[in-house]
Structure 1
Amino acid sequence: MYTTGAAFLEALQEAGVSYIFANLGSDHPAIIESLAKAKKEKKALPTVITCPHEFAALSAAHGYAQATGEPQAVLVHVECGTQNLGGAIHNASRSRVPVLIFAGASPYTQEGELTGSRNEFIHWIQDVPDQRGIIRGYTKYDNEIRSGSNVKQLVYRALQIAKSDPTGPVYLMGPREVMEEEAKPVTLSPELWEPISPGAIAPNQLGELTSDILRAEKPLIITSYLGRNSEAVKELVRLCDKTAIPVIESIPHQMNFPADHPMHLGSQWNTAEQNEHLAEADFILVIDSDVPWIQMKNKPSEKAVVYYLDVDPLKEEMPLWYIPSKRFLKADSYTVLSQLNQFIDENCTLNKTIINERWKKYSSIHQRMVEEKRKLEQAESDMITPEYLTACVRDVIDEEETIILNEGITSYGAISNHIELNTPGSYYGSGAGSLGWNGGAAVGMKLAKPEKTVVSLTGDGSYLFSVPSSVHWMSKRYHAPFLTVIYNNSGWKAPRMSTLGVHPRGIANEMEDFFVHFDPSADLASIAEAAGNAKPLNVDSKSELKTALRKGLNTVKEGRSAVINVSIPHVYLKDETIYSMSIKDNIAEMGVEK
Structure 2
Amino acid sequence: MYTTSSAFLDALTEAGISCIFANFGSDHPAMVEAIAQARSEGRSIPRIFTCPNEMVGMSAAHGFWQASGVPQAVVVHVECGTQALAGAVHNAAKGRAPMLIFAGASPFTQDGEMTGSRNEFIQWIQDVHDQRGIVRGYVKYDNEIRSGHNVKHLVHRALQFAGTDPKGPSYLMGAREVMEAAVEPRANDIDRHQPLIPSALPPEGVETIGRALLAARRPLVVTTYIGRNPDAVEPLTALCHRLGIGVLESVPTWMNYPHDDSFYLGNQWNEPVQNAALAEADMILVLDSDVPWIPTVNRPARDAKIYHIDVDPLKQQMPLADIPALAAFRADAATCLAQLHAWLDTQSVEQDALNERTEHYWRLHDQRADILMAREASEDGKPLTSEYFLSRLRRHVDETTLIVNEGISNYQAIFNHLAPTRPASMFTSGGGSLGWHGGAAIGVKLAQPDKTVIALTGDGSFMFSVPTSVHWMARRYETPFLHIVFNNGGWKSPKLSTLAVHPSGYAAAAEDIDVSFEPAPDYVGIAAAAGGAWGKRVTLPAEVDAAIEAALTVVRDEKRSALLEIVIPPL
The answer to whether TM tops 0.5 is yes
Q: Give unmatched runs, 5+ long, in structure 1.
A: 571-580, 582-594
- Stretches (4+) displaced over 3 A: none
Could you tell me which amino acid in structure 1 is paired with residue 288 of structure 2? D
Could you tell me which amino acid in structure 1 is paired with residue 153 of structure 2? Q
Of the structure 1 ranges 80-89 and 506-515, higher mean CA displacement relative to structure 2 is found in: 506-515
**Structure 2 counterpart SS, 1:150:** helix
In the alignment, which residue of structure 2 is the partner of 1:353? 352
In the alignment, which residue of structure 1 is the partner of 2:497? 498
In the alignment, which residue of structure 1 is the partner of 2:486? 487
CA distance in 2, matches of 1:341, 1:512: 57
**Structure 2 counterpart SS, 1:457:** strand
* TM-score, scaled to structure 2: 0.99
Residue 100 (structure 1) aligned with residue 120 (structure 2): no
8 Å contact 1:286–1:292 — kept in the other structure?
yes
CA distance in 2, matches of 1:382, 1:24: 51
8 Å contact 2:221–2:285 — kept in the other structure?
yes
CA distance in 2, matches of 1:526, 1:483: 15
Provide Cα deviations, 1:542-572, integer angstroms capped at 9, x if missing partner.
11111111111111112111010110111xx
Could you tell me which amino acid in structure 2 is paired with residue 376 of structure 1? R
Query: Counterparts of 1:491-530 in structure 2 under 5 Å?
Result: 491-530=490-529
Query: Counterparts of 1:557-576 in structure 2 under 5 Å?
Result: 557-558=556-557, 559-570=559-570
Residue 319 (structure 1) aligned with residue 315 (structure 2): no
CA distance in 1, matches of 2:109, 2:535: 51
Residue 255 (structure 1) aligned with residue 261 (structure 2): no
**Structure 1 counterpart SS, 2:130:** coil
8 Å contact 1:69–1:98 — kept in the other structure?
no
Query: Counterparts of 1:427-506 in structure 2 under 5 Å?
Result: 427-506=426-505
In the alignment, which residue of structure 2 is the partner of 1:220? 220
In the alignment, which residue of structure 2 is the partner of 1:301? 301
Please state how far the C-alpha of 1:188 moved relative to its aligned partner. Answer: 2.3
Could you tell me which amino acid in structure 2 is paired with residue 186 of structure 1? R
CA distance in 1, matches of 2:338, 2:496: 41
% identity of equivalent residues: 52
Q: Give unmatched runs, 5+ long, in structure 2.
A: none
Please state how far the C-alpha of 1:81 moved relative to its aligned partner. Answer: 0.2
Residue 367 (structure 1) aligned with residue 366 (structure 2): yes
Provide Cα deviations, 1:36-79, integer angstroms capped at 9, x if missing partner.
01111111100001000000000000001111221100000000
CA distance in 1, matches of 2:62, 2:331: 23
8 Å contact 2:152–2:189 — kept in the other structure?
no
In the alignment, which residue of structure 2 is the partner of 1:392? 392
Provide Cα deviations, 1:457-486, integer angstroms capped at 9, x if missing partner.
110111111111001111111111100111
In the alignment, which residue of structure 2 is the partner of 1:275? 275
In the alignment, which residue of structure 2 is the partner of 1:586? none
In the alignment, which residue of structure 2 is the partner of 1:32? 32
Please state how far the C-alpha of 1:361 moved relative to its aligned partner. Answer: 1.5
CA distance in 2, matches of 1:490, 1:114: 56
CA distance in 2, matches of 1:212, 1:59: 41
Please state how far the C-alpha of 1:281 moved relative to its aligned partner. Answer: 0.4
CA distance in 2, matches of 1:7, 1:543: 58
Provide Cα deviations, 1:103-155, integer angstroms capped at 9, x if missing partner.
00000000100000000010001110000000100001000000010001000
**Structure 2 counterpart SS, 1:435:** coil
8 Å contact 1:271–1:298 — kept in the other structure?
no
Residue 12 (structure 1) aligned with residue 12 (structure 2): yes
CA distance in 2, matches of 1:481, 1:538: 19
Please state how far the C-alpha of 1:189 moved relative to its aligned partner. Answer: 3.2
Provide Cα deviations, 1:412-449, integer angstroms capped at 9, x if missing partner.
11111111111111111111100011000000000001
CA distance in 1, matches of 2:131, 2:209: 46
Please state how far the C-alpha of 1:229 moved relative to its aligned partner. Answer: 1.2
CA distance in 1, matches of 2:55, 2:230: 28
CA distance in 1, matches of 2:291, 2:209: 21
CA distance in 2, matches of 1:488, 1:278: 33
8 Å contact 1:456–1:483 — kept in the other structure?
yes
Could you tell me which amino acid in structure 2 is paired with residue 128 of structure 1? V
CA distance in 1, matches of 2:499, 2:316: 31
In the alignment, which residue of structure 1 is the partner of 2:199? 199
Please state how far the C-alpha of 1:396 moved relative to its aligned partner. Answer: 2.4
**Structure 2 counterpart SS, 1:149:** helix
Please state how far the C-alpha of 1:379 moved relative to its aligned partner. Answer: 3.8
